[in-house]
Amino acid sequence: MCGIVGYVGLQLASEIILDGLSRLEYRGYDSAGIAVISEKGLLELRREVGKLRNLVKDVMTNPLKGNIGIGHTRWATHGRPTVFNAHPHSDESGKIVVVHNGIIENYMALKEELKKKYEFKSDTDTEVLAHLIKDNYSGDLYKAVHKALQKVHGAYAICVIHADHPDYMVAAKNSSPLIIGIGEGENFVASDVPAILNYTRDIIYLEDGEIAVVSAEKADVYNLAGEKLSKKVSKISWNIASAEKGGYEHFMLKEIHEQPSSVAHALAGRASDADGKLYLDDLGITAEYLNTVKRITILACGTSYYAGLVGKYYLEKLARIPVDVDLASEFRYREPFVDDKTLVIGISQSGETADTLAAIKMVKELGAKTIGILNVMGSAISRETTGNMYIHCGPEIGVASTKAFTSTIVCMYMLSLYFGQLNGTINAEEIRKNIVELKTLPNIIEKVFDIEPAIKVIANKLANYKHCLFLGRNYNFPIALEGALKLKELSYIHAEGYAAGEMKHGPIALIDKDMPVISIATESATYEKVISNMKEVKARDAIAIALATEGDTALKEEVDHIMYLPRVKEELSPIVNVVPLQLLAYYVSLRKGCDVDQPRNLAKSVTVE
């Protein structure tokens, strides 16, 4: 998830673009760049690594003249945050420059072809577009972009300018968001509303497959068949703050609602339901190496640790390799058995968590190979490990992790299928079937939002209690732990997650009429066991709340409150079942007037011990 801004008009393009990018930094902030055409044929391009302020300083020192330009703030997915991987990317002549948000799924295949004619300067998927447009260019930029996009698969929002055409830019969209801002004698292109709200409230929303030719006077929109479209101009009433949250009240609620698309992004370009294969070469794990692995150790903290617990179930089932999951803060101070036959997986959204980083450094000393399941490219842990798998969920601003959790579990599932593919413990047809089911998750998660009002009602009741227990079994035991952590960190209610089978060994002593107990009772091999556990707590007057699979009417009689969820196979149910628990914690926190996005005593990335 990156931020794009384009401008054409009478004002200084660099000023408008840099201001717009500053309002899109929540979308990505590891590098930035700008390109401006000062006069026909003279295009200047600037790129800097790090926060946008580095680029602003550069342009302040050496101002850019010109009334047309494009800019970008990056969230790296392909190629580390470096100057060469920062956008805009240009073709060999330097006349065509492109900014892009999204993932070109077939970029490797396109690059193989284009490499025969053009020299590539970056590791990005985006640079392919610059050369592809050049390859189709014969004087008309719109036609070149149109032809190029016929060959492109994946998600993209792009804006393109050509040094020989200082009067218009071309923008196109497929699955990633892109809007056009209509001004007086000037027009704008942007990834999102906050970037241009200072200049106009008249917005055209581009739809998938649409291409726009934007000049200072007008914006013409065409579909991929080349037919001109008449587009509605919408008037925006939001202020900038709420716009950055996409109209949601908090980043956390926005990020919960982003999960259908973030899960889709996690899968994009890496899991093919056509040939039943996983493409995770960036990890640098070969079948030969995997055959030498005697044990996998997963290291993480907090929510990432719980994602690791679910990952253990997947790896042991699908790749048939023994797995330990350790809290990094504990692991690094005990004398664990680690050697060159141990593969260590570090899981971290931020990639900066001190305990996980130190534990990774420690196992490398002991001879283990290390890989990272991370969100932030270029982070400290990503530089320590030998290979990384990025979860591609975009920046996560809310301190309480939500979309990073579900995308990490999806990646752990893909990793397990990949290891099964490498060591032959699972065949291509089984892999293909599992990928088909994985790809149904975005729609299934979308449906969970239908019960949001019901969750809010339960949350308003739950907010009156001081304690709460979460129960789960098998794949959903870690989800009970995560549900409790979300409620704890957001509402400050003392919540505990437990393996339901553990209740009789102690925690059941806590149960009375003042103890809400939330059971994850969706369809599963241990369903009957979960039901009897629920009956045990109900028999002691607990307030029984259940997550259930739609259609399970019998359960309704057993509980005080029930949340019905769409059917999904048990293995994948953790990715769906955690969503109502995220919403529950959100609405309890709201009800109690807590600071949802920045809960007390917490930090988004714990870089100290």
Interface contacts to ligand AGP, rule CB under 6 A? 301-304, 348-350, 353, 356, 399-401, 489, 605-606
Q: Which of 151, 447, 592, 604 is catalytic?
A: 604
Beta-carbon contacts of 601 under 8 Å, excluding residues fewer than 6 positions away, are: none
Beta bridge partners of 212: 171, 221
H/E element holding 503?
none
- Cβ closer to ligand AGP: 373 or 444? 373
Q: Give the separation between CA 418 and CA 285, rounded to whole angstroms.
A: 10
- The nearest distance, CB 391 to ligand AGP, in angstroms, is 10
Cβ proximity to ligand AGP: between 48 and 255 the closer is 255
Number of helices and strands in the chain (H, E)? 21, 27
Residue in the structure block whose two tokens are 């447009």: 133
**Are 184 and 203 spatial neighbours (Cβ–Cβ below 8 Å)?**
no
In 3D space, the residue among 8, 509, 517 whose CA is nearest the CA of residue 219 turns out to be 8
DSSP letter at 551 equals T
Q: How far is the CB of 572 from ligand AGP (least distance, A)?
A: 21
| Beta pairing partners, 188 | 7, 181
Choose between 223 and 607: whose C-beta lies nearer to ligand AGP: 607
**Rounded to the nearest whole angstrom, what is the least distance from the CB of residue 332 to ligand AGP in the complex?**
14
Q: How far is the CB of 583 from ligand AGP (least distance, A)?
A: 14
Q: Tell me, letter by letter, the H, E, C secondary structure of 7-53.
A: EECCCCHHHHHHHHHHCCHHHCCCEEEEEEEEECCEEEEEEEECCHH
Q: Is 604 a catalytic residue?
A: yes
Half-sphere exposure of 237 (CA within 13 A, CB side): 0
Burial of 335 (0-12, 13-18, 19+ CB in 10 A): exposed
Residue 312 tokens read as: 């253990």
For residue 254, the minimal CB distance to ligand AGP (Å) is 15
Measure the CA–CA gap between 577 and 473, rounded to whole angstroms: 12
Shorter beta-carbon distance to ligand AGP: residue 423 or 605: 605
**Does the active-site annotation cover 411?**
no
Please, which residue, 402 or 474, has the CB nearer to ligand AGP? 402
Residue closest to ligand AGP when measured from CB atoms: 302
Smallest distance, Å, CB 409 to ligand AGP? 13
Q: Which of 2, 411, 468, 594 is catalytic?
A: 2
| Cα 340 to Cα 325: distance, rounded to the nearest angstrom | 18
Cis peptide preceding 88, ω within 30 of 0:
yes
Residues classed as catalytic:
2, 604
